[in-house]
Amino acid sequence: MVVENKNKIELLFNVVEKQMGVNQKEIKGLRKNKEVVTARNIVGCILNTELGLSFKESARAIERDRTTILYYIKVLDNNINYFKFFRENYNAISDKFWSKMSRADAEDIELQIQNLHIEIDKLTEIKNKLYLN
């Protein structure tokens, strides 16, 4: 999982759970009922097509093989066009996810700022040691 996208991926799993009642453990698990399979497919598609993660990164996030994501993308248009259950859940999850994305982006930026402060403190300490010598 790409570190920069950790909050976004967690946000997506949370949105899916609220929308479909399928949690992250179930998505990563082996169950194959309609709700779980649909949720897994939607997460895989959004990770790849909307978040821009590679096939490998998207597959890793749902604990599947990259060929699974390739298949999800291949059938995405048909699923949206011909399966009402898929289409309604996909659209609702995507809309809710993107409406909450700015908060996840802000959290990611906050983490980056915290890491930069730590690095600045370390560099300042090294600089001070150099001046003392």
Q: Which domains does the chain have, with CATH numbers?
A: 3-101 (1.10.1750.10)
Mean of per-residue pLDDT scores for the chain? 92
52: left (phi over 0), alpha (psi -120 to 50) or beta: left
Q: Which of 14-18, 81-85, 100-104, 117-121 has the lowest mean pLDDT?
A: 100-104
pLDDT one-digit tens code per residue, 54-106: 999 999 999 999 999 999 999 999 999 999 999 999 999 999 999 888 776 77
- By the 8 A CB rule, do 92 and 38 touch? no
pLDDT category of residue 7 using cuts at 50, 70 and 90: confident
Residue pair 41/72 in contact by the 8 Å Cβ criterion: yes
Q: What mean pLDDT comes out for the span 26-33?
A: 96
Rounded mean pLDDT, 35-59: 97
Block residue for tokens 């909450």: 100
Instruction: Check whether 4 has a pLDDT greater than 70.
Output: no
Q: Rounded to whole angstroms, what are the CA distances from 75 to 31, 41, 64, 68?
A: 20, 10, 17, 11
User: b or e along 98-115 (b: 16 or more beta carbons within 10 Å of the residue's beta carbon)?
Assistant: eeebeebeeebeeeeeee
With bands split at pLDDT 50, 70 and 90, how would you rate the model's confidence at 108? confident
The average pLDDT across 112-127 equals 92
pLDDT in tens, 69-80: 999 999 999 999
Q: Residue 12 CA to chain centroid, in angstroms?
A: 5
User: What is the residue whose two structure tokens read 């967690």?
Assistant: 10
| Encoded amino acid at 33, one letter | N
Has residue 1 got a pLDDT over 60? no
In the numeric block, which tokens belong to residue 28?
């990563």
Extract the tokens encoding 13: 């799993």
